Amino acid sequence: MTDQLIDFFLLMKSELLLLAVIFIMLFMNITAKENADGTPVDNNHSILVTANILLLLNFLAGFFMNTSGNLFGDSFTSTELTAFQKNILNLGTLLVSLQSYTWLKTHKHVMEFYMLLLATLLGMFLMISSQHMLLFYLGLELSTIPLAALVNFDLEKKKSAEAAMKMIMMSAFSSALLLFGISLFYGTMGTLHFQEIPAALNGSDLQLYCLILLIAAFGFKISAVPFHFWTADVYEGAPVPVTSYLSVISKGSILFVMTTVLYNVFAGMGVEWYLIICVLAVATMITGNIFAVRQQNLKRLLAFSSIAQVGFILVGMSGQNTEGAVSVTYFIIIYIFSNLAALGVISVVSALTGKEKISDYKGFYKTNPMLSWILAIALFSLAGIPPTSGFFGKFFLLLAGAGNGNYTLVIIAALNMIVSLYYYLKIVKAVFMDANEEPIPTINLAFFPKAGLLICLIGIIVTGLASGSYNYIQELFASL
Amino acid sequence: MGSSILELVHINNYVMLAAILFAIGVMGVMFRRNTIIIFMCIELMLNAVNLLLVAFSTMHSDPGGQVMVFFIMAVAAAEVAVGLAILVMIYRNVKSVDIDILNKLKW
């Protein structure tokens, strides 16, 4: 009996720890001292410090006591791999939380921000561990509904509310598509368990239709073209930390799940989904890059660039071998560091000056050399230029894609990498070379955002050069 | 008992009805301009799914589908609650629920 209880706690460790963090913060909110006008006493500082320390502990605890096993009638699974993926998301959330310090310091509803943020993270954890359609659906909804509320977090801005509206409608619509696919699948197979699905696949037309609906729903969430229309609007309207969270953590978690579902559950329909993924990859890369070229708003540009990055990830996913799954996971880690470093700089600048256009960043190097270098290295990593880890990430993705023999796809991806250089370097040129009479004033970073940016910078450089990181992920997949 | 209901109305009829309901919902989301009606159409799509799940659950005599229906209903309610809350925010700003008002963000 006690053994079972201990097993239960260990298997659900990530979820339970996160719940503990949520409850501790809830009680802090109840006991917090307030001024007469309802604002916190010391500008939220103590709340933010506690939140970041708790998230750091949560991340560190993710390294220990990871066991494998199933729970709840085999509908929930926990392995070394899922524990690792969850911990990647933990790290990303910690970085987002560190970077949002500047923005949240003067915000009235800090506690609600953390409640919603951690609730979505809990949803992603459930989704990653799910072995049953019901748990998968619940995790997916738990990870998107609070996000819409987060997008609306600049309460006085109309833009923010509009973005939230687009987001909630898109997510409701796409989950309806997903459910329609699931229900027809259920009709053909009579089971909702992931483990029983492979045996029940027969490749009939109806099952193919369901698979398309399923991939379409995934496509909405990872903003693959042609399901990307909400992305740029939502990224621009949302507060910058929420944009980082959306573009990195939320997308990353769905990509983890998508890889697991396609590789393990629908392996029997590999020929069919290989074609779909290839078409999506080409469309996503090309459209994302073409639209990114003409953007003037930095957040919008990064939104389209993140669409293009998803295209590259899909190239890796089309590899249909272990290398494919490994390279996707590896690239998501790199992508978290690179994109969070770029968006972290933008987040600080946006919170302090409200400037988000590329032309506003002219002469940024004169006033903020340190932030300029971080931005430049992050952009180089996103573009995939050698010593940074982005190069290695892209390299392994293309290698995995080539493993399936589809060299046309790999060539298209390589050409797209060249196009993407243009718009990334456009920002670097504005920052380092262009002169400006009124550059952004020198910014004094607080400790937390500085720490967040430094972790990202170290991550960008170390993840690529330390080859052990790729081998470690490979071992995790091999141990399944 | 489960089979007797399906003998009266064959499973094909359930699938047809659900598909028609789902299509009406999709059409509504695409062509209606009132945000509240769009939310109603999304509900319609979800209810088509519920109907399908219940019918299939009876066909396979497996309770899994019916359990899922309960969860879908609860989650749909939560989704619409958040959606309507955001709608109230928009209405405060622009005094309208027409979706064409939402054009401040464009490519």
Residue in A114, A107, A108 with CA at minimum distance from that of residue A22: A114
Q: Residue B11's closest chain A neighbor by CA?
A: A187
User: What would the mean pLDDT of A73-101 be, rounded to a whole number?
Assistant: 90
What digits encode the pLDDT tens for the residues A260-318? 899 988 888 888 888 899 999 999 999 889 888 888 888 888 888 999 999 999 999 98
Domain ranges of chain A: 2-62+72-478
The whole-angstrom distance between A208's CA and the closest CA on chain B is 16
Asked if A158's CB is within 8 angstroms of B52's CB, the reply is no
The angle, 0 to 180 degrees and rounded to 10, between the axes of the packed helices A298-317 and A251-260 is 10
Chain A residue numbers with beta carbons less than 8 Å from the beta carbon of B49 are 176, 179-180, 182-183
The answer to whether the CB of A235 falls within 8 A of the CB of A300 is yes
Please, what's the largest Cα pairwise distance for chain B?
A: 57
pLDDT (0 to 100) of residue A34 = 67
Q: How is domain B5-94 classified at the architecture level of CATH?
A: Orthogonal Bundle (1.10)
DSSP B34: B
User: What would the mean pLDDT of B73-82 be, rounded to a whole number?
Assistant: 92
Question: How many residues does this entry show for chain A?
Answer: 480
Residue A21 CA to residue A97 CA, distance in Å, equals: 14
What digits encode the pLDDT tens for the residues A376-400? 999 999 988 888 888 889 988 888 8
| Phi–psi pair at A335, nearest 5 degrees | -65, -40
pLDDT (0 to 100) of residue A444 = 80
Asked if B105's CB is within 8 angstroms of A236's CB, the reply is yes
Residue in A134, A272, A256, A264 with CA at minimum distance from that of residue A199: A264
Give residue B96's region: left, alpha or beta (phi > 0; psi -120 to 50): beta
Q: Is the peptide bond before A226 cis (omega within 30 degrees of 0)?
A: yes
Task: Name the residue among B11, B52, B75 with its Cβ closest to that of A183.
Answer: B52
A479 versus A37: which is more confidently predicted? A479
pLDDT (0 to 100) of residue A200 = 84
User: What would the mean pLDDT of A74-99 be, rounded to a whole number?
Assistant: 90
Distances (CA, A) of A374 to A137, A339, A340, A351: 38, 11, 11, 18
Tokens representing A111 are 């506690």
pLDDT (0 to 100) of residue A145 = 92
B30 Cβ under 8 Å from any chain A Cβ: no
Domain ranges of chain B: 5-94
What digits encode the pLDDT tens for the residues A250-264? 999 999 999 989 998
Rounded-to-10 torsion of CA A259, A261, A262, A263: 70
Tokens representing B75 are 């989650």
CA-only gyration radius of chain A, Å:
22
Task: Name the residue among A141, A149, A165 with its Cβ closest to that of B90.
Answer: A165
Task: Name the residue among A158, A173, A179 with its Cβ closest to that of B104.
Answer: A158
Q: What is the ipTM for the molecules in this complex?
A: 0.91
Residue in A164, A219, A147, A207 with CA at minimum distance from that of residue A182: A207
Strand partners, A132: A193
Asked if A155's CB is within 8 angstroms of B89's CB, the reply is yes
A141 Cβ under 8 Å from any chain B Cβ: yes
Q: Residue B78's closest chain A neighbor by CA?
A: A145
A169 Cβ under 8 Å from any chain B Cβ: yes
Residue in A353, A354, A309, A358 with CA at minimum distance from that of residue A334: A309
- Is a pLDDT exceeding 60 seen at residue A334? yes
Asked if B94's CB is within 8 angstroms of A164's CB, the reply is no
Asked if B42's CB is within 8 angstroms of A237's CB, the reply is no
Residue A436 CA to residue A443 CA, distance in Å, equals: 17
The whole-angstrom distance between A65's CA and the closest CA on chain B is 32
- Other Cβ atoms less than 10 A from the Cβ of A7: the count is 14
Chain B residue numbers with beta carbons less than 8 Å from the beta carbon of A137 are 68, 71-72, 75
B52 Cβ under 8 Å from any chain A Cβ: yes
Q: Which of A152, A179, A300 to mutate to test the interface with B (most CBs of B within 10 A)?
A: A179
What digits encode the pLDDT tens for the residues A431-451? 888 777 777 777 888 888 889
Residue A459 CA to residue A388 CA, distance in Å, equals: 10
What digits encode the pLDDT tens for the residues B29-57? 888 888 889 999 999 999 999 999 999 99
The answer to whether the CB of A381 falls within 8 A of the CB of A311 is no
Strand partners, A71: A76
Chain B residue numbers with beta carbons less than 8 Å from the beta carbon of A176 are 22, 25, 42, 45-46, 49
| Phi–psi pair at A130, nearest 5 degrees | -70, 145
- Is a pLDDT exceeding 50 seen at residue B107? no
The whole-angstrom distance between A219's CA and the closest CA on chain B is 17
Residue B69 CA to residue B75 CA, distance in Å, equals: 10
A200 Cβ under 8 Å from any chain B Cβ: no
pLDDT (0 to 100) of residue A438 = 75
The 8 Å CB, 24+ separation contacts for A269-273 are A269/A201, A269/A203, A269/A207, A269/A208, A269/A211, A270/A320, A272/A203, A272/A208, A272/A211, A273/A211, A273/A215
Residue A286 CA to residue A302 CA, distance in Å, equals: 15
Q: Residue B44's closest chain A neighbor by CA?
A: A176
Q: Which of A112, A145, A183, A301 to mutate to test the interface with B (most CBs of B within 10 A)?
A: A183
The answer to whether the CB of A182 falls within 8 A of the CB of A130 is no
Alpha helix locations (H) across A79-202? 80-99, 101-104, 110-129, 133-151, 158-189, 197-200
3-class DSSP assignment, residue A130: strand
3-class DSSP assignment, residue A40: strand
CA-only gyration radius of chain B, Å:
18
Chain A residue numbers with beta carbons less than 8 Å from the beta carbon of B83 are 148, 165, 168-169, 172
| Phi–psi pair at A167, nearest 5 degrees | -65, -45
The whole-angstrom distance between B94's CA and the closest CA on chain A is 9
Percent of chain A with pLDDT over 70: 98
Give residue B60's region: left, alpha or beta (phi > 0; psi -120 to 50): alpha
**Going by C-beta distance under 8 Å and a sequence separation of 6 or more, which residues neighbour residue A404?**
A274, A318, A319, A320, A321
A152 Cβ under 8 Å from any chain B Cβ: yes
Chain A residue numbers with beta carbons less than 8 Å from the beta carbon of B71 are 134, 137-138
Mean of pLDDT over chain A: 87
Residue A32 CA to residue A45 CA, distance in Å, equals: 12
Q: Residue A188's closest chain B neighbor by CA?
A: B56
The answer to whether the CB of A342 falls within 8 A of the CB of A388 is no
Task: Name the residue among B18, B25, B79 with its Cβ closest to that of A145.
Answer: B79
Chain A residue numbers with beta carbons less than 8 Å from the beta carbon of B65 are 183, 186, 192
- Is a pLDDT exceeding 80 seen at residue A201? yes
User: What would the mean pLDDT of A137-148 be, rounded to a whole number?
Assistant: 92
3-class DSSP assignment, residue A77: strand
What's the first-to-final CA gap in chain A, in angstroms?
27
3-class DSSP assignment, residue A399: helix
The angle, 0 to 180 degrees and rounded to 10, between the axes of the packed helices B64-94 and A158-189 is 160
Chain A residues 284-313 with CB within 8 Å of chain B: 291
User: What would the mean pLDDT of B50-67 be, rounded to a whole number?
Assistant: 89
Q: Residue B48's closest chain A neighbor by CA?
A: A180
Q: Cα–Cα–Cα angle for B59, A272, A397, nearest 5°?
A: 130
pLDDT (0 to 100) of residue B104 = 60
Residue A175 CA to residue A218 CA, distance in Å, equals: 9
Task: Name the residue among A133, A173, A183 with its Cβ closest to that of B42.
Answer: A173
Residue in A118, A48, A71, A20 with CA at minimum distance from that of residue A452: A48
